[in-house]
Chain A
């Protein structure tokens, strides 16, 4: 019996980290072993959608989705890789959702996987440049970190914030990550540690930046209601995945706005999303972006986000990109898996009764953005 709705019925995650002794295939084997505990995925998966950003750059591997299918002995099932910069995870979800909504297929496995620490950081940094325009930023090896630093400076000046005022976000994220068993950085930090950490791009410091780590996560998306009784730890409904794009940073009339995210957030009312009854996972790759996203969401007045984030509950309970980590292509799938867990069986020991889940992702400084809307079942 197929539903006209789409459900996330199962999720699997491994802790984000530096896995020198494991390949991307090893990470995926661990995910699948977890999923197979209910029922072998071979028996019910119709399609595999893989989110990955750096397979060509770091793994020297194209068509990674087929390599995964072969590794898992899932042939002849079809698979495809989706890449849209840092929003890849939610774009893969969008692709999977479209396959189901169109009636082409019923049950899709979405895998997010990224292997970053195969090389020293300076090599990975070289590939990070590729997330921006190679004809503009790429020529000078300008990276998102630099652009975030420029925005942080503009923000501090415009709203009269000191560097210290902006430390609250990373402190909160590290605090949240303590309770997330899948987070890369599960240690508390202090204001002094943030403001005395290494300068990456002034005024942005090490503790304002997501760490580099490997990761893999998966979710099962289906419209097959019968499957729900056999597989998974409880369902949530995937209402929609929205995405949008924005002009380059230099072409924006307000440098401190996030045009693509803003556009997507303006659509939330159409779905009846109640942010006060919502679990939020936002793309806090750099401290300043968290504040700008909170402001675009309407959770704070302009320039006031650093004063209100302490009081915003249920935002990045995972620890966010800052502390859960940001295995680039896998991140969006992590966020969705975390929201699935939070609203069903629990993420570690945290379990919530909220009606809604909102996952937000963006690439670089909002070059593109995506939002997944999730609702508790029943």
Chain B
């Protein structure tokens, strides 16, 4: 068993909902959620689901090959600024290598991340794709 059931259950909000922390003192947002604001240290925070909408700050096309996932390269990895202000690292899918660009507007989409063999769990999580519809439900 390579995927821990309690772990993916415990982290379901961060993994499936793109849940972010908004600071009620300095106003900045961050991902993943934390008990205090990483910018000002305030514990006067609230946790909300991100709209999942954002913009590519910059990106790289990766050919770095990892055992068991050799078929997944090339893949597009990007720094994305969510509309709420938080910056996240993520993978951009459903995009041609000539279509990816800085400033591209993207939306979060639930995708399969990893499979634990033929009979184990499937781990899902958020990736990003060029906007084609509304954001994820909040």
Contact A199 B66 (CB under 8 A): no
Contact B64 A153 (CB under 8 A): no
Chain B residues near A (Cβ < 8 Å): 11, 14-15, 30-32, 38-39, 57-70, 77-79, 86-91, 113, 123, 125, 127
Beyond A203-B60, A255-B79, list 11 extra A-B contacts (CB 8 Å).
A122-B66, A126-B67, A141-B69, A143-B64, A146-B64, A150-B59, A150-B79, A198-B63, A202-B63, A250-B30, A251-B30
Contact B59 A145 (CB under 8 A): no
* Chain B residues whose CB sits within 8 angstroms of the CB of A371 once the complex forms: none
Indicate whether A125 sits within 8 Å of B60 (C-beta atoms), given known contacts A136-B89, A137-B89: no
Residue of A nearest to B111 (CB): A140
Chain A contact surface mostly:
helix
* Chain A residues whose CB sits within 8 angstroms of the CB of B88 once the complex forms: 250
Question: How far is A140 from B111 in the complex, measured between Cα atoms in Å?
Answer: 11
Contact A125 B63 (CB under 8 A): no
* Chain A residues whose CB sits within 8 angstroms of the CB of B125 once the complex forms: 139-140
A102 → B minimal CB distance (Å): 32
Chain A stretch 37-85: residues in CB contact (< 8 A) with chain B: none
What's the A-B contact tally at a CB cutoff of 8 Å?
91
Contact B67 A123 (CB under 8 A): yes
A125 → B minimal CB distance (Å): 5
Residue of B nearest to A140 (CB): B91
Chain B contact surface mostly:
strand
Contact B58 A153 (CB under 8 A): yes
Chain A stretch 171-203: residues in CB contact (< 8 A) with chain B: 198-203
Among B30, B60, B62, B86, find the residue whose CB has the most chain A CB atoms closer than 10 A: B60
Among A129, A140, A143, A249, find the residue whose CB has the most chain B CB atoms closer than 10 A: A140
Contact A146 B77 (CB under 8 A): yes
Contact A153 B66 (CB under 8 A): no
Interface flags, A227-259, vs B, CB<8A=1, else 0: 000000000000000000001011100010000
Chain A residues near B (Cβ < 8 Å): 120-123, 125-126, 129, 135-137, 139-143, 145-147, 149-150, 153-154, 157, 198-204, 247, 249-251, 255
Q: List 7 A-B contacts (CB under 8 A).
A: A122-B65, A126-B67, A139-B123, A199-B61, A201-B64, A201-B77, A250-B88
* Chain B residues whose CB sits within 8 angstroms of the CB of A251 once the complex forms: 30, 38-39, 87
* Chain A residues whose CB sits within 8 angstroms of the CB of B57 once the complex forms: 154
Among B11, B87, B125, find the residue whose CB has the most chain A CB atoms closer than 10 A: B87
Question: How far is A143 from B65 in the complex, measured between Cα atoms in Å?
Answer: 11
Indicate whether A135 sits within 8 Å of B60 (C-beta atoms), given known contacts A250-B31, A251-B30: no
* Chain A residues whose CB sits within 8 angstroms of the CB of B58 once the complex forms: 150, 153-154, 157
Residue of B nearest to A121 (CB): B65
